[in-house]
Structure 1
Amino acid sequence: MTTDTKTNQIGVHALVWAGDTSPSSLASAIEKTKATGFDLLEISLHDSANLDVVAARDALRKADLGVACSRGLAFDADVSSDDPSVVERGEKLLHDSLAVTGALGGTHFTGALYSALGKYDHPLTTAGRRNVVSVLRGLAQEAQRKVMTLGLEICNRYETNVINTARDALVLADDIGEDNVLIHLDTYHMNIEEDDLVRPVHEVGDRLGYVHVGENHRGYLGSGHLDFTSFFHALADIGYAGPITFESFSSAVVMRGLSNDLAIWRNLWSDGEDLARHAHAFITEHLHTSRSR
């Protein structure tokens, strides 16, 4: 089975355009996403307090763009904690974020939904994992009622202690036990934690629900050492037809909290529009090549 460019929405992360989700920043991000040829805009909900949901939804519809939302949690609102009050704050954040995603018109809510986004100084505890499973099962059931899916984004060891590999994510999804909990692969994290960029795609198979494409240094696609040819061929092998979103960060565009959490200390690019046009062409060409084998 092969991948068809007509069925994969090609997305771009809003942090390519702006460091916050204020009305003016999001209006600009939507306009630039459309102008550079993308089908979907991914919005991080770390700044959701500043998000005008109704205005953003209307602008997305007017531009005929899809939307996906993502987030991680904070250490004082971490569903993998042993502290019930901390877990409760994290659970509320997740349900609030799911509601925002749906109100924007999105059906994909993804990210590090299972923990804080940052370096832990200890392994995940048995009680903490039990809390993750319980909270995400309830969130998935709520998402099911809204006809939405959850994505478990697999992040590297420096950003979470819950799931670092495709195998970890599949076990967690099995334990949650809801069909709308899908796996989210990210080439940047895979480069750190996996043996290659092919086996995890095949292992996840039809449970793959969302993809982030990013270089090993999170700069221009093709300027690093990642084997994107093999990765896109693997997507074609499993017939993946879901969103493929370009994710890149630079100190040129800063959302303070998230940029610090992700250790965005250097300026990998300064022209988001040039970066995005290049990424769209790069992804489109790789999809075409993988389909034409």
Structure 2
Amino acid sequence: MIKSCVTIALVPQIKSGPWIFWEDLEAGMAKASKLGFDAIELFTASADAIEVPRLKDLLDQYKLELAAVGTGAGKVIHGLTLTDPDSEVRKKAISFISDMIDFGAAFGAPAIIGSMQGNVLPGNDREETMSWLAEGLNQLGKHAESKGVTLIYEPLNRYETNLLNTIEAGSNFMDSLETKSVKLLADLFHMNIEEGNLEESILNWGKSIGHVHFADSNRRPMGFGHTSMKEIASALKTIGYAGYASAEAFPYPNPDAAAEQTIEEFRKWFK
């Protein structure tokens, strides 16, 4: 069964990003619980920004699960990526993500690698850069497996990365890794830019999908753009996807309305 999820960001430096609730963890959880969401996806400045016992208490209190934890603060705050030409920066990126894996694993939740994947920088060799990415993902995937969770890699659109932009490219690259504990994030916003046919991509490479970001073509909550969810929902059900549909979307027109719109659309397509 596909479960509903809403995003909560607690990092001031990314306040212009696509997250529904901001700053106040408990207030966001209370609203998510009241609306009937199954889980939250959490973005924090570091792995120790929230004490694990406190988060466990809040999740129990509001009857929510932790679906995943984001690692984007590693790039936004510290400038770390897995494909930086400086080996010391890459080591720090791996360490930051490892800590986030440990944090999420306390709740059985995976960490997501989005912006921390980086880019092939001007003047750098693409093959060498991709080897750095593979090295980092192999190390991190094995670490995630040792903690009993998977690691989630997110193919981003061409305006955010020049590494892997489609589900097909991501799936083929994951197949080439030594670790088999890295799954893909199918972000419907990025897919609307890069995929020729979202339904076919899900059906063809669904074996690699471990998480879904539920946002419309304009990155507003689902229903505020032109994404055709009927075919997408059908494809996710066909491949037997049983993870979360998480609203990584702009809080349009405001956080409360965005959350309400998201849960209505979720129930329309998955309940």
TM-score by length of 2: 0.87
SS in 2 for 1:13: strand
Contact 1:82–1:127 at 8 Å: present in 2 too? no
Q: What is the aligned partner in structure 2 of residue 269 from structure 1?
A: 253
How far 1:168 moved relative to its partner? 1.4
SS in 2 for 1:171: helix
Contact 1:66–1:106 at 8 Å: present in 2 too? no
Contact 2:5–2:244 at 8 Å: present in 1 too? yes
Instruction: Report the Cα distance in structure 2 between the residues aligned to 1:39 and 1:52, rounded to whole angstroms.
Output: 21
Q: What is the aligned partner in structure 1 of residue 186 from structure 2?
A: 185
Contact 1:26–1:56 at 8 Å: present in 2 too? no
Q: Aligned in 2, Cα 1:40/1:248: closer, same or farther, shift over 3 Å? A: same
Q: What is the aligned partner in structure 2 of residue 84 from structure 1?
A: 87
Contact 1:114–1:162 at 8 Å: present in 2 too? no
Q: Aligned in 2, Cα 1:239/1:88: closer, same or farther, shift over 3 Å? A: same
Contact 1:124–1:162 at 8 Å: present in 2 too? no
Q: Aligned in 2, Cα 1:185/1:124: closer, same or farther, shift over 3 Å? A: farther
SS in 2 for 1:43: strand
Could you list the per-position Cα deviations for residues 83-111 of structure 1 after superposition, in whole angstroms to 9, with x for gaps in the alignment?
201111111111111111123x1322223
Instruction: Report the Cα distance in structure 2 between the residues aligned to 1:124 and 1:37, rounded to whole angstroms.
Output: 48
Instruction: Report the Cα distance in structure 2 between the residues aligned to 1:125 and 1:46, rounded to whole angstroms.
Output: 30
Q: Aligned in 2, Cα 1:236/1:65: closer, same or farther, shift over 3 Å? A: same
Contact 1:165–1:190 at 8 Å: present in 2 too? yes
Whether 1:16 and 2:20 are equivalent positions in the alignment is yes
How far 1:123 moved relative to its partner? 7.3
Q: What is the aligned partner in structure 1 of residue 12 from structure 2?
A: none
How far 1:174 moved relative to its partner? 1.3
Instruction: Report the Cα distance in structure 1 between the residues aligned to 2:6 and 2:223, rounded to whole angstroms.
Output: 16
Instruction: Report the Cα distance in structure 1 between the residues aligned to 2:29 and 2:122, rounded to whole angstroms.
Output: 38
Report the AA paired with residue 33 of structure 2: K
SS in 2 for 1:198: helix
Instruction: Report the Cα distance in structure 2 between the residues aligned to 1:199 and 1:43, rounded to whole angstroms.
Output: 30
Instruction: Report the Cα distance in structure 2 between the residues aligned to 1:113 and 1:220, rounded to whole angstroms.
Output: 21
Q: Aligned in 2, Cα 1:49/1:145: closer, same or farther, shift over 3 Å? A: closer
Q: Aligned in 2, Cα 1:122/1:9: closer, same or farther, shift over 3 Å? A: farther
Q: Aligned in 2, Cα 1:123/1:223: closer, same or farther, shift over 3 Å? A: farther
How far 1:275 moved relative to its partner? 1.7
Contiguous gaps of at least 5 residues in structure 1: 1-6, 251-267, 289-293
Instruction: Report the Cα distance in structure 2 between the residues aligned to 1:31 and 1:182, rounded to whole angstroms.
Output: 30
How far 1:175 moved relative to its partner? 2.1
How far 1:221 moved relative to its partner? 1.8
Contact 2:188–2:213 at 8 Å: present in 1 too? yes
Q: Aligned in 2, Cα 1:122/1:17: closer, same or farther, shift over 3 Å? A: farther
Instruction: Report the Cα distance in structure 2 between the residues aligned to 1:219 and 1:119, rounded to whole angstroms.
Output: 29
Contiguous gaps of at least 5 residues in structure 2: 9-18
Contact 1:191–1:226 at 8 Å: present in 2 too? yes
SS in 2 for 1:151: strand
Whether 1:282 and 2:265 are equivalent positions in the alignment is yes
- Single out whichever of 138-147 and 107-116 deviates more from structure 2: 107-116
How far 1:140 moved relative to its partner? 1.0
TM-score by length of 1: 0.81
The residue correspondences of 1:67-106 to structure 2 (distance < 5 A) are 67=66, 68-72=68-72, 73-74=74-75, 76-103=79-106, 105-106=107-108
SS in 1 for 2:162: coil
Instruction: Report the Cα distance in structure 2 between the residues aligned to 1:43 and 1:231, rounded to whole angstroms.
Output: 25
SS in 2 for 1:215: coil
Q: Aligned in 2, Cα 1:214/1:176: closer, same or farther, shift over 3 Å? A: same
SS in 2 for 1:11: strand
Instruction: Report the Cα distance in structure 1 between the residues aligned to 2:69 and 2:124, rounded to whole angstroms.
Output: 28
Q: Aligned in 2, Cα 1:122/1:155: closer, same or farther, shift over 3 Å? A: farther
How far 1:31 moved relative to its partner? 1.2
